Amino acid sequence: MRLPIILMATTALALPAAGADLGVLSALDVCDELGLSGLTISSDTNCLQVSAELYYEFHFGDYKGDLPVLGSGYSGTIDWTDDDGGATDWDSWVDAYLIMVGTAPSDFGPAKVAMELYGYDYAEAQNGVGVPERSLGFDHAYISIGDSTVLTAGLVEDSIFNEDDDEAFGWLESFISDETDGVAFDGGAGSYGTGDHAIQLVRNFGNGLSAGIALESLDDQGSLVGVVNYGSEQLTAHVSVLAGGILDGSFNDIALHSGVTATFDIFKLRGAFAANNSGWWNALASAEATLDMFTLAGTIDGTSERELGLTGAATAKLNDSFTVKLAARYLDADVNLANDEGTELRGRVEYAASETLTLAAEGGYLWTGAAAPSGTQTIADGLLELIWTPGANFGSSIAVAGNSIGAYKVSFLASRTYD
């Protein structure tokens, strides 16, 4: 909703015949001047942008347990293991965001104050025992100023530590990426704090090149963060480094994250590497080719824990209604240990019944060796899903899933963004 400044020309209204002689009176809207859109409210010198999002999900069934399959990375159609004796489990989760950004022009560039109020209300039960939890507070609240050079201070929205260009291509993640969310620089240990309370300085040099330096995690042990980014239509790349524990002078935790994606016509290539001074490293190489109706992808990744993963995926859009997806992934949990491997085959079919309604069916089969974390295991699972996207940034789905070791799960999700 735009509330523009309205100039009243009562003389022109009273003397319509002389309107052409009076000229055209107009008001300059500061939101338009700054190039800002969405839900805005403007005054003479400030533009306030308002956006919001609400997300709800509910799950019910028998799907929670402690027995690992291939470690915490295996999810199948949903994240379950089910070794709790058949007791009822459920989750109900509400996420809500209210974001306000006030912007005004200055001699140094746009000056902003940004605030996001975030709240959640969560209740879960395992074995029929419920645990409620709720929270309300600022997810970020910061000020910034600048155009090509931007200074930001406060509770920041994002760290300048770039972790992009590290996700595997294909519709199904590798086992390792499923657990580390790309390539991980911390390996699950250390004081590698990023974001939160921070002072950041970022410079855009033009031609796709930018760099930044920041003090972050100042509400904890503090980190010194640096980054160099490059982006064009054919190539995106970055190198991020950080030193943790700066406030106590230890500088004990050093970490690096890097990634590059190159696009050549129908081909995409990606490489990513992350490491820290504890000896941990995580590397990934992935490729994708788009050939008419087919998209093919392959990934190899590994970690310093002697894990090795391979994944292959294919997507075929048969026509405007049917899409078929097939994938296989393999994990050797320790290349120095025999019979600890796991392999999964998975398929998914999507049918677009209309522009707003999609039906999907998915199934998979996993088998592991005797030396895997769960021992010898074979699991088959399946999923039926109905997805509704009627527009206005609203989306909803309902799904029913189950597997061969007795787990089942009924899920409902709904969300809408407002901007």
Query: What string of DSSP letters covers 112-144?
Result: EEEEEEEEEEEEEEETTEEEEEEEEEEEEEEEE
CA distance 415 to 350: 21
Give the rounded distance of the alpha carbon of 51 from its chain centre.
18
The HSE-up count of residue 252 (CA atoms within 13 Å, CB side) is 9
Question: What's the chain's Rg over C-alpha atoms?
Answer: 26
Structure confidence at residue 77 (pLDDT): 43
Find, among 241, 272, 75, 51, the residue nearest to 165 by Cα.
Answer: 272
Q: What H or E segment, with its residue span, contains residue 178?
A: helix 175-180
The single-letter DSSP state of residue 337 is S
Whole-structure pTM value: 0.83
Q: pLDDT tens string for the chain (419 positions)?
A: 333 333 233 333 333 443 444 343 334 588 988 888 888 888 888 999 999 999 999 988 887 765 444 433 334 444 445 555 567 888 899 999 999 999 999 999 999 999 999 999 998 887 767 778 889 999 999 999 999 999 999 999 899 999 999 999 999 988 888 888 889 998 756 568 899 999 999 999 999 999 999 999 999 989 999 999 999 999 999 999 999 989 988 787 899 999 999 999 999 999 999 999 989 999 999 999 999 899 999 999 999 989 999 999 999 999 999 999 999 999 988 889 888 888 999 999 999 999 999 999 999 998 888 766 666 678 888 999 999 999 999 999 999 988 887 788 899 999 999 88
In the structure encoding, which two tokens stand for residue 106, read together? 């200055």
Predicted confidence (pLDDT) per residue in 58-114, tens digit: 988 887 765 444 433 334 444 445 555 567 888 899 999 999 999 999 999 999 999
Contact 303, 217 (CB under 8 A): no
For residue 16, the 8-state DSSP code is G
Where does 232-317 show beta strands of DSSP type E? 235-244, 253-264, 267-276, 281-291, 294-303, 308-317
Q: Which CATH number fits domain 32-418: 1.10.3470, 2.40.128, 3.40.640, 2.40.160?
A: 2.40.160
